[in-house]
Amino acid sequence: MCRYRDLFIDFDDTLYDTHGNAVIALRETFEAFRLDRYFPDPQVFYDTYWTANIDLWSWYSKGEITRDYLIIERFRRPLSVGVGLEVTEQLCLDIGDKFLDFCSTKPGVVEGAHELMDYLRRRDYRMHMTSNGFHEVQYKKLAACGLKDYFDTVILSEDAGANKPSKQFFDYAFQLSGASPATTLMIGDNLQTDILGALSAGLDAMLFNRWDVEPTDIPQAPTYVVSSLNEIRHIL
């Protein structure tokens, strides 16, 4: 008999193919603003964006920068590489808004996501989405990819007042969901925000090792490690 009653499940890049969808949305944004006038090689813009985005989300999860700073800065950096482009705060905001609009309509999920959620629902787990993503965007993405109805609770960092991996986020998650650490498993792809955050909060954690990270990079090993969503069905 499985000892877990509740599952805290990360959304972005665990179930929803955030990276793959964003690659498409970034190209659409580049074309919508005719940025080819300033970037003879679009790859320069894309590469600079992804480098900035990874850094900024890492800082944001630690509470070191604000949401507003992230939204502007992740486009200010790549736009600043353009030739002859006047980079204003308003331009960064306009491009950021359009990018998020494109992102939120994309339906792509990680391979096996729907099958896993069907399986977990049949097993009567209570499932709770946990995310550091922006409030207005996450609900649109949930609807676009058809995963919204699987979740008993949607737990977002903006509502919690703190990001994963902070204890405040997980305390809020327990309060909102009614889950208990002893009977809850966290499932996620991010070793720091999902796995270390959950272990520090006193619950078991399953790393979906989508990015081939080294699990020993954190002080405490994950309770489980899987390389595909399908493997989770052999454990739960």
Question: End-to-end distance of the chain based on CA atoms, in angstroms?
Answer: 10
Q: What is the largest CA-CA distance in the chain?
A: 64
pLDDT of amino acid 3: 86
Q: Going residue by residue through the chain, which has 236 residues, state the pLDDT in tens, using 9 for 90 and above.
A: 468 999 999 999 999 999 999 999 999 999 999 999 999 999 999 999 999 999 999 999 999 999 999 999 999 999 999 999 999 999 999 999 999 999 999 999 999 999 999 999 999 999 999 999 998 899 999 999 999 999 999 999 999 999 999 999 999 999 999 999 999 999 999 999 999 999 999 999 999 999 999 988 888 999 999 999 999 999 99
Q: Rounded to whole angstroms, how far apart are CA atoms 165 and 219?
A: 14
Q: pTM of the entire structure?
A: 0.93
pLDDT of amino acid 216: 85
Name 60's Cβ contacts closer than 8 Å, sequence gap at least 6: 66, 67, 70, 132, 163
Domains of the chain: 6-17+109-232 (3.40.50.1000), 19-104 (1.10.150.240)
Question: Are 162 and 169 contacting, i.e. CB atoms less than 8 angstroms apart?
Answer: yes
pLDDT of amino acid 132: 94
